Amino acid sequence: MGIEKTLQHIQDRIIESAKRSGRDPGNIKLVAVSKTVALEKIIEALNAGVLIFGENRVQEAQNKIRSQELGVRSEKIEWHLIGNLQKNKARTAVELFDLIHSVDSAALAEEINRHAQKTGKLQRILLQVKLADEETKHGVREEDLSGLIDKVLLMNHIQLEGLMTIPPYFEDPENARPYFRKLRELADRAIAKGYPVKELSMGMSNDFEVAIEEGATMVRIGTALFGERDYRLN
């Protein structure tokens, strides 16, 4: 199947899930996860109508965003960083990305704020929340979330827009539902307190429909769009 058909199929599934849960499909953004994906395929996706691309490594993203091949087309793209960010890469991340999904500490936010201030940028961010006790996953713990929000709101060059989570992987996406619901509840509680966290980045190829039913406003989809990843290309 060509990428146009695949994209159409995914968009149909997004619309169906939104309707099932009484939501406006227009409030759900597709983030095409292009990590390990070659530039030609990114360009194909762009030509098919994809507007937002998500990358999980700063270096790899930089090579793509700055590549001659992409040229001025890169300016039409909204680039999102979805992977873990180290403080020493904060400067480059601020230079490259429109939205950073993976902020999970005050120290990292401060570093982002500092670099954004230098260039007069207002850096849009999401806070990554860790809802399961998994050693390998990043994210702020639920009990530390409102403290972190309070700190981030004091940073003048950061615009907090919402929350992000990556639940544990389950074969059956229904098992991820409680995690999506939890993130939604955390956001609802924060919104009730006046915090600006309306975006919910949750759901990937295997479970985005369930995530939409639970309130996702951004779904991060890689393999369902581009096929299995080939990490040898990295």
Ligand X SMILES: *Cc1c(COP(=O)(O)O)cnc(C)c1O
Interacting residues with ligand X (CB under 6 A): 33, 35, 56, 82-83, 166, 204-206, 220-224
Q: How many residues does the chain have?
A: 234
Minimum CB distance to ligand X smaller for 55 or for 213: 55
Minimum CB separation of residue 117 from ligand X in Å reads 27
Q: CB nearest ligand X: which residue? A: 222
Minimum CB separation of residue 54 from ligand X in Å reads 7
Minimum CB distance to ligand X smaller for 35 or for 115: 35
The 3-state secondary structure of 97-159 reads CCEEEEECCHHHHHHHHHHHHHHCCCEEEEEEEECCCCCCCCCEEHHHHHHHHHHHHCCCCEE
For the chain, state the CA radius of gyration: 17
Minimum CB separation of residue 169 from ligand X in Å reads 9
The encoded tokens of residue 152 equal: 């981030």
Task: Answer for the pair 10, 16: CB distance below 8 angstroms, yes or no.
Answer: no
Minimum CB separation of residue 2 from ligand X in Å reads 19
Minimum CB separation of residue 231 from ligand X in Å reads 11
Minimum CB distance to ligand X smaller for 113 or for 165: 165
Minimum CB distance to ligand X smaller for 82 or for 160: 82
The CA distance from 132 to 206, in Å, is 18
Find how far residue 53's CA is from the centre of its chain.
9
The CA distance from 122 to 24, in Å, is 28
Minimum CB distance to ligand X smaller for 186 or for 219: 219
